[in-house]
Amino acid sequence: MADGVVFLIDETEVEFTAMRAQGAGGQNVNKVSSAVHLRFDVGASSLPLDVKARLLALRDSRITQEGVVVIKAQQYRSQEQNRADALARLNALVNSVAHPPVVRRPTKPTYGSKQRRLESKSQRGQTKALRGKVQA
C-alpha cells in the first residue's frame, strides 16, 4: 500500500459456516466439519463507499450477483486454522482494491522523435527508389 492504509475486516461483519471438507483425507474428512464457508456482505459492511464500489466491480467468481463475497477454506485439518485462512484471504481481496488505480495520462511524442521518424522514412523511400528498372 502506498500510504500504509490496510483494511482489516471485523469478524462481526462476517458469517462463518462449518462444513465437511471435500476430497481425500480418510476418517477425519468423513467425520469432522473442518471446512469453513465465509460470507461477507459488501453492501452492508463498514468499508468506505469507493472501496465497496471497486470490490463489487471486480470480475471475481467469489463475488455473487447480490454483492456477497463467498470464500471456502478447507486447506487445514482444524476449523480454527481454516477460519483464519478464510479471513486472511478476504482481507487480501479487500486490500487489493483499497487504493484507486493510477490514472494514465497520455503523452505526446517529442519533436526530436518525430524528426528522426520522418528522416528514417525518407531514407527508406530513397533506398526503394533505387530498386526500379535501370535506364540504359
Q: Is the pLDDT of residue 119 over 90?
A: yes
57: nearest Cα among 108, 121, 101: 101
Q: Are strands 68-73 and 35-41 parallel, antiparallel or unpaired?
A: antiparallel
Query: Grid coordinates in use for 23?
Result: 476430497
Q: Mind listing the pLDDT tens digit for each residue in 65-103?
A: 888 888 888 888 888 898 899 999 988 988 888 888 889
Q: What CATH number does the domain located at 11-96 have?
A: 3.30.160.20
Q: Mind listing the pLDDT tens digit for each residue in 9-47?
A: 877 788 888 887 777 766 666 667 788 888 888 878 878
- Residue spans of the domains in the chain: they are 11-96
pTM score, whole prediction: 0.67
Amino acid at 83: R
Q: Is the pLDDT of residue 3 over 60?
A: no
Query: Grid coordinates in use for 109?
Result: 511524442
